[in-house]
Amino acid sequence: MDRTQINSIHSRCEHFLSYHRPCSLREHLRTIADSEYCDVGRDAYGQGGFVAQFESEIASLLGKEAAVFMPSGTMAQQIALRIWADRSGVPMAAFHRTCHLELREENAFREMHRLDVVLLGTSEDIFHLVEFEALSQPISTLLIELPQREIGGILPTWEELSAICSLARERGIHTHLDGARLWECGPYYGRSYAEVCALFDSVYVSFYKILSGLPGAALAGPADFIAEARPWLRRHGGNLQQQTPSAISAKLGMDRHLPRIPEYVAKAAEIAVALNSVPGVRTIPPEPKTNLMHIMLPGEPESLVKRAMEIAEQERVFLFGGLIQTPEGSRTELSVGDGALGLSGARVADLFERLLQSPMQA
Amino acid sequence: MDRTQINSIHSRCEHFLSYHRPCSLREHLRTIADSEYCDVGRDAYGQGGFVAQFESEIASLLGKEAAVFMPSGTMAQQIALRIWADRSGVPMAAFHRTCHLELREENAFREMHRLDVVLLGTSEDIFHLVEFEALSQPISTLLIELPQREIGGILPTWEELSAICSLARERGIHTHLDGARLWECGPYYGRSYAEVCALFDSVYVSFYKILSGLPGAALAGPADFIAEARPWLRRHGGNLQQQTPSAISAKLGMDRHLPRIPEYVAKAAEIAVALNSVPGVRTIPPEPKTNLMHIMLPGEPESLVKRAMEIAEQERVFLFGGLIQTPEGSRTELSVGDGALGLSGARVADLFERLLQSPMQA
């Protein structure tokens, strides 16, 4: 089953276990063009227009002095680590071993910024206070990802997170928040984004994931840090001639989805209970704290995807379109958005029971 | 006179000495959304959809095996120089002293890629064969910008350009074309883009300048070179989650403007003759070979801009909105696009004569 067939089936569904009801690129662009934010005017190389206004809003929302809009988080985080490393004179950071910088950026922080890293945690768990306490190597920056995406979206408790960040400050270590999915952490911590971000010196947030904007990110922090980030943005080639369409789509995504994050997180909890009730199925974590979890299934990816497509065609419910093989079966990532709000836990459990029946009986 | 006032006057004009008749962001986004190219579908992190199709088209137009779409030329050129330097083991390039990498990228090629450079040419002229012949230092890459933007858009003759590139190849030096304004060189060389690009190992082209697309660029070259460029794009943070809107706007800009480049270049020649007929005014170069030139004016920037705004309000012709002070007066860059096609040389000469009358008489 190829990607084109899967996309075609996806486009005919009504409910989507992961992410939002799809919006075509055409609709997306028209929504941006029709929005009042277009009246604010465009930026020129990041200066003025809607981008400047949006940067102020993001800084305020995250409780930081300043923010800069960027094309990607890959830029934002390398730049943050580079600035903190240059300031402390220690070209070494510490972050979780499944961090985006370690797994998804082709070693850019080493190759382009000559930084090195102490990897923390395990392939199944976040790192804990005791591990960070024991760290004897000098490091400039501790990067924490909330939630830790690659291991199913695990979050530290508020107490442990606060203790880790306090210890970092005591030791003169800068703290940076990888907030690619920060928006989704609000309900668990029960605190404002600004309160969560107050634990950190700098913060990156993303606009194209749960907020479903065009590609875009922001880096926020002290005013002098953001002023230093701008020439680094230019060095990376990210000071684009204009970013207004991306910034408007980010703002529209915030308007639409931020108020609904608690619904997505609550629905994820309901779905997790349902999934864990199906024999052979389990979620990581067993009780998600955000809208994110991994689903572990018995069986081979290929036959499970084929069966999921049959169910999608019959029921107009899209469960998943891809799986990764694991030693014990198959694994997929689930991020609950508005596409699943019309699905009850009972319906999800029923569909996964059917999924695991032999495809031969279909 | 601030930027907001100038933009407001600009928006009420009918003719524009530089660039195209303005198109609002709203119109621009709607044109993309309405285009048939939206039916091809979107890319996912640069894979598939319209981006893949467009990359093939660009490769073919430039006569190269492959091309990769990128958010900016800043990325494209650093990546090209880095790959060629790594291949030859010589972390040294040569380019003109007004090259974008030297003036506009915050030393990124040094800071992020540990490359060094031999600067060629002067602040008034391109570098010539004799200077390149005399270069004894080992270099990995010779970068040539066509036309040389910062000095008014000067172009080498075809014979000299060919001789320089041949000599580079004889010496085992890679050649890279900074084609930010390559589109505008077609009429002067009277050759296809592929013929011009055949002189070079790799080529960067831009889509948001004369083509008036959203920000975007392409790097083209041998297939193995482009395959190597893709992980570098990821390292720079330029492998965005989707680039389809930018790629579609680039394609629409090519459809609209590439066939008209000869008109723009011919109009630029007519305007240059007119400007050089006005006492006190001269253009660099005196006889533009592309649509690009610098205009040198007697007087201070501030009073000239004020006077240009009076003319814009009276005549609905926008001459310029900004000037740079020089020892002899003021200087501005002119890129002729469709905004000037309705202006005769005589009209332009008349308006510049009025511009240089004392503003007190206005």
- Long-range CB pairs of B54-63 (<8 Å, 24+ gap) are B54/B247, B54/B248, B54/B250, B54/B251, B55/B218, B57/B251, B58/B205, B58/B218, B58/B220, B59/B220, B61/B193, B61/B194, B62/B193, B62/B194, B62/B197, B62/B203, B62/B205, B62/B220, B63/B192, B63/B193, B63/B194, B63/B195, B63/B197, B63/B198
> How many other C-beta atoms can be found within 10 angstroms of the C-beta atom of residue B11?
10
Q: Please check whether residue B77 is in contact with residue B204, taking contact to mean a CB–CB distance below 8 angstroms.
A: yes
Judging contacts by C-beta atoms under 8 Å, the chain A residues touching residue B233 are none
**ipTM summary value:** 0.96
Q: Which among A63, A89, A336 has a CA at the least distance from the CA of A179?
A: A63
A 24-63 residues with CB < 8 A to B: 24-26, 29-30, 32-33, 38, 41-42, 48
Burial class (CB in 10 A: 0-12, 13-18, 19+), A12: exposed
The one-letter amino acid at B65: E
The one-letter amino acid at A77: Q
Q: Please check whether residue B331 is in contact with residue B297, taking contact to mean a CB–CB distance below 8 angstroms.
A: yes
**Which ranges in chain B belong to alpha helices (H)?**
3-11, 25-34, 49-61, 73-88, 100-103, 108-111, 129-133, 158-170, 186-189, 193-197, 223-236, 244-257, 261-276, 301-315, 345-356
Q: Which among B321, B248, B56, B16 has a CA at the least distance from the CA of A245?
A: B248
- Determine the distance in angstroms separating the CA of A166 from the nearest CA of chain B, rounded to an integer: 31
CA geometry: angle B325, B11, B351, nearest 5 deg: 55
- Closest CB from B208, B232, B245 relative to A25: B245
Name the CATH superfamily, with its identifier, for domain A3-23+260-361: Aspartate Aminotransferase, domain 1 (3.90.1150.10)
Q: Which two tokens stand for residue B34?
A: 């309405």
- Closest CB from A24, A72, A112 relative to B240: A72
How far apart CA B228 and CA B230 sit, in angstroms, is 6
In CATH terms, the fold of domain B35-242 is Aspartate Aminotransferase; domain 2 (3.40.640)
**Secondary structure class of A283 (helix, strand, coil):** strand
Please answer yes or no on whether A75 and B29 come within 8 Å at the CB atom.
Answer: no
A110 — contact with chain B (CB < 8 Å)? no
How far apart CA A123 and CA A131 sit, in angstroms, is 15
- Predicted local confidence at residue B362, as pLDDT: 41
Task: Encode chain A (362 residues) as per-residue pLDDT tens digits.
Answer: 788 899 999 999 999 999 999 999 999 999 999 999 999 999 999 999 999 999 999 999 999 999 999 999 999 999 999 999 999 999 999 999 999 999 999 999 999 999 999 999 999 999 999 999 999 999 999 999 999 999 999 999 999 999 999 999 999 999 999 999 999 999 999 999 999 999 999 999 999 999 999 999 999 999 999 999 999 999 999 999 999 999 999 999 999 999 999 999 999 999 999 999 999 999 999 999 999 999 999 999 999 999 999 999 999 999 999 999 999 999 999 999 999 999 999 999 999 999 999 654 44
Indicate the CATH number for domain B3-22+260-357.
Answer: 3.90.1150.10
Q: How far is CA A179 from the centre of its chain?
A: 7
CA closest to A75 among chain B residues: B237
Q: Going by C-beta distance under 8 Å and a sequence separation of 6 or more, which residues neighbour residue B171?
A: none
Q: Please check whether residue A197 is in contact with residue A65, taking contact to mean a CB–CB distance below 8 angstroms.
A: no
Level-2 CATH architecture, domain A25-256: 3-Layer(aba) Sandwich (3.40)
- Determine the distance in angstroms separating the CA of A108 from the nearest CA of chain B, rounded to an integer: 5
Strand order in the sheet with A141-145: A66-70, A217-221, A202-206, A174-179, A141-145, A92-96, A116-120
- Predicted local confidence at residue B2, as pLDDT: 86
B96 — contact with chain A (CB < 8 Å)? no
- Closest CB from B25, B111, B240 relative to A71: B240
In chain B, which stretches have pLDDT less than 50? 360-362
Q: Please check whether residue A332 is in contact with residue A323, taking contact to mean a CB–CB distance below 8 angstroms.
A: yes
**Domain extent listing, chain A:** 3-23+260-361, 25-256
Strand order in the sheet with B66-70: B66-70, B217-221, B202-206, B174-179, B141-145, B92-96, B116-120
- Predicted local confidence at residue A358, as pLDDT: 65
Widest pairwise Cα distance in chain B: 64
Q: Which among B295, B296, B297, B288 has a CA at the least distance from the CA of B264?
A: B288
Please answer yes or no on whether B214 and A106 come within 8 Å at the CB atom.
Answer: no
